[in-house]
Chain A
Amino acid sequence: MGTWPLRDRTSIVGIGETEYWKAGGATRTEFELACEAVQRAVADAGLTLADVDGLSVYSGERSDPAEVAQALGLRDLRYVSLYPGGGNSACAVVHHAAIAVASGSADVVVCYRSICQGQFGRFGRARVGSGTARGEVGSSVGGRQAFTMPVGLMSAAQSYALEARRHMYEFGTTSEHFGMISVACYANAQRNPRAVMNGRPLTLEDHQRSRMIADPYHLFDCCQESDGACAVVVTTTERARDLRQRPVLIAGAAEGLASGDGGDRFRRPPELWTSAGLAGVARDLYERAGVGPADIDVAQLYENFTGQVLMTIEDFGFCAKGEGGPFVEGGAVEWPHGDLPINTAGGNLAEAYIHGLSLVNEGVRQLRGESTAQVERAEHCLVVAGPSAPPSSALILRRAA
C-alpha cells in the first residue's frame, strides 16, 4: 500500500458542544442540543450553516440528519453518512467526513452526537427488545439474547467485566491498575469547568472503596451516563487555511474489526478476549499517518470501562501485550508528567459521556493549545473510539505547521 492519499489533506476546523449534565439534567430536548452543538461548531470554524453540505453521524443518532438539516435550514445537503453502532463510531464519523471532503463529494461536513440518557433509555438498565425490562413473568428474549439475558448477562458493564477478568487472569492485571486510569481522568476533569465531575476529585482509595457493579468493575471503572451534545466540522486542509481557527490536520484515520471479531463476543477468537480488538486499526492508522507510538504526545482513549482502556493502550503499542497494568502503574497516563497523558478533559469517565465524540473535541483543543490540561508542544494526538465494540475506529490528529 502506498502513502495514504488523505494524509493531512483534511482538517477539523470547528468544534462545539453544549453544556454537559449528569443523565436527566438537560433542560432542553436532545434534538435541541444536537442543533445547538452543530451551530456552535460551525460558528467556531468561522463558517455559516449555509456552508454545510454534509452530515456524518452514528447510526444510533436519534436526532435524524434530515430533521437536523431542515431545522437548521441547510441549503444544499449533498452527503449523509451513518456509521453502525455507538461509541465505536466516534472516530469513524470523522473518517467518513474526511473521505467525503477529500473526494469532492462535499465541501463542509459536520459530525455530531446528541445523547440524553435522562430522556431516553439509560444504557445501564437491562433492555429486552426495544423496551426496558420490568420483570414480568413470561417475558421472553430471542436471538443472541436468549443465551445471555436468562443467565443474567444484561448490561455492558457485566459483559466487559468478563474480558477484564480474563486479562487479570492471564497477565496479573489488578483492580488498582484499572483504578489508576479512572484517577487520571478524574484529575483532568478537576481542571475542566465543562466536566460533569468537576469538583469531584477521586483517589485510588475512593475507587477501591466504591461499590462493586460487576466484578472486577467498581462504580468508578464505568463511564458516566450523561446528557449533552457535541459536533466537529471537517473540510479540506486547503480551505481550512482561510478559516478562523488554526486547522487541526487529520493525519490518519482508520476503522474496522479484527479477523473473526463481530457482533457475538462468544464466537470471537480467544486472543480477542484480552484485547480491544484494535491492533489492526492501530497498524493501519500509524501507517496512514506516517508516525508511530513514540510520536504520540497525548491520547484521548474511549472509556466504556477502564480495563478496555488498558487493552487499547496495548493494542496501540504503547507497551507490550499484557504490560498495560505496569504501564499505568508507572504514571504514564497522568497529566502533565506521564509519557502518554490521556483524556485530558476528563474523558467519558469524568467529563461527559457523549459516546466519545467529545474525545475528538478535546484532541482538537490539545493541538490548538486550548486544553485545560494542555500538553506542552503537543504535535500528535491519538483519538480512539469504543474498544471491544467492533467495528471501531481511531484518528491521529496533527498540529498544523
Chain B
Amino acid sequence: MSATGAMFPPEMPVPLVEALTEPFWAAAREGRLVIQHCTDCGTFRHLPHVLCSSCQSSAHDWVESAGRGTVYTYTVVTHPVHDATAAVVPYNVVVVQLDDCGGVLVPSNLVDCAPEDVQVGLRVDAVFEPVTDEITIPRFRRTA
C-alpha cells in the first residue's frame, strides 16, 4: 500500500544510503519493511547497528515484517526547528512497536491522521512513501 500525498516538503533531509542500511532502503523501495536480525543469536534490532547488543556478532540478515504494530508513544510537533518543517506543523512523530520482528520500536509518522487523533495504543499498518527515486520511507496508517 502506498501513502497518499507527501508527509514533508522536498527540502526535508533524506536518508543517506550507507553500506549497513542499503538492504533496508532497497526493501523499502519495493514496499517492504525489513528489520535487521542477528543470525547468531536471533535477536532483532532497530535502529540498524553493526553489532548485536545481545551477542556482539556482526552477522545478520534482514527479515521482512508484516508491517503491523501499535503506537508505543508519540509527539505532535508544533514548534518547527528546521526550515523544511515550518510549513507542515503541527505534524506527528510516532514510535511503532511491531507485532513481529521481536517487537522492535520504529520511529516514523502516521499518515492521514489529524494531530488530535494520534494516541498511544492505535493499531497501525506500514505504508510506503517514495520521497526520491532512491529513497522510500516506511510510514504507518491506522488499521481500517
Q: Which A residues are within 8 Å of any B CB, using their own CB?
A: 124-126, 128, 133-155, 157-158, 161-163, 165-166, 169, 211-217, 260, 262, 264, 266-267, 273
Contact = CB atoms under 8 A, between A and B. Distances in A.
Contacts of A137: 10-11
A133 B86 CA distance: 12
B73 A152 contact: no
A162 B78 contact: no
Contacts of A153: 93, 107
Nearest to A163: B73
25 contacts: A124-B81, A133-B82, A135-B84, A141-B13, A142-B18, A143-B18, A146-B15, A146-B16, A146-B18, A150-B12, A150-B15, A150-B135, A153-B93, A153-B107, A154-B82, A161-B75, A162-B73, A169-B120, A213-B77, A214-B76, A214-B78, A215-B78, A266-B104, A267-B47, A273-B72
Interface residues of B, number: 47
Interface in B83-128: 83-85, 90-91, 93, 95, 104-109, 115, 120-121
A150 to B, nearest CB: 5
Contacts of B32: none
B33 interface: no
Contacts of B77: 152, 158, 213-215
Contacts of B62: none
Contact of A165 (B12, B84, B120, B139): B120
A266 B46 contact: yes
Contacts of A140: 13-16
A401 B75 CA distance: 49
Interface in B8-62: 8, 10-16, 18, 21, 45-49, 53
Contacts of A126: 81-82
Contacts of A125: 81-82
Contacts of A165: 73-75, 120
B1 to A, nearest CB: 18
A162 B93 contact: yes
Given A154-B81, A155-B81, A211-B78, A266 B91 contact: no
Contact of A141 (B8, B16, B73): B16
A130 to B, nearest CB: 14
Nearest to A148: B107
A264 B47 contact: yes
B82 A135 contact: yes
B41 to A, nearest CB: 15
Contacts of B106: 266
Q: In this complex, which of A138, A149, A214 has the most chain B Cβ atoms within 10 angstroms of its Cβ? A: A214
Nearest to B86: A135
A195 B60 CA distance: 52
Interface of B: 7-8, 10-16, 18, 21, 45-49, 53, 72-79, 81-85, 90-91, 93, 95, 104-109, 115, 120-121, 131, 135, 137, 139
Nearest to A155: B81
A151 B85 CA distance: 10
Nearest to B10: A137
A265 to B, nearest CB: 9
B107 A138 contact: no
Contacts of B16: 140-142, 146
Given A140-B13, A152-B77, 18 more contacts: A126-B82, A128-B13, A137-B11, A140-B14, A140-B15, A142-B15, A142-B16, A151-B7, A151-B137, A152-B7, A153-B93, A158-B93, A162-B93, A163-B73, A212-B90, A213-B79, A266-B95, A267-B46
A208 to B, nearest CB: 15
Contacts of A143: 18
B93 A166 contact: no
Q: In this complex, which of A136, A141, A266 has the most chain B Cβ atoms within 10 angstroms of its Cβ? A: A266
B130 to A, nearest CB: 12
Contacts of A212: 76, 78-79, 90
Contacts of B53: 260, 262, 267
A56 to B, nearest CB: 30
A135 B83 contact: yes
B67 to A, nearest CB: 15
Given A126-B82, A165-B73, A267 B49 contact: yes
Given A140-B15, A163-B73, A166-B73, A151 B120 contact: no
Contact of B93 (A142, A152, A211, A264): A152
Contact of A133 (B10, B74, B83): B83
Contacts of A213: 77-79
A67 to B, nearest CB: 31
Nearest to A136: B11
A211 B47 contact: no
Nearest to B11: A135
B75 A158 contact: yes
A150 B131 contact: yes
A280 B87 CA distance: 43
Q: In this complex, which of B18, B45, B81 has the most chain A Cβ atoms within 10 angstroms of its Cβ? A: B81
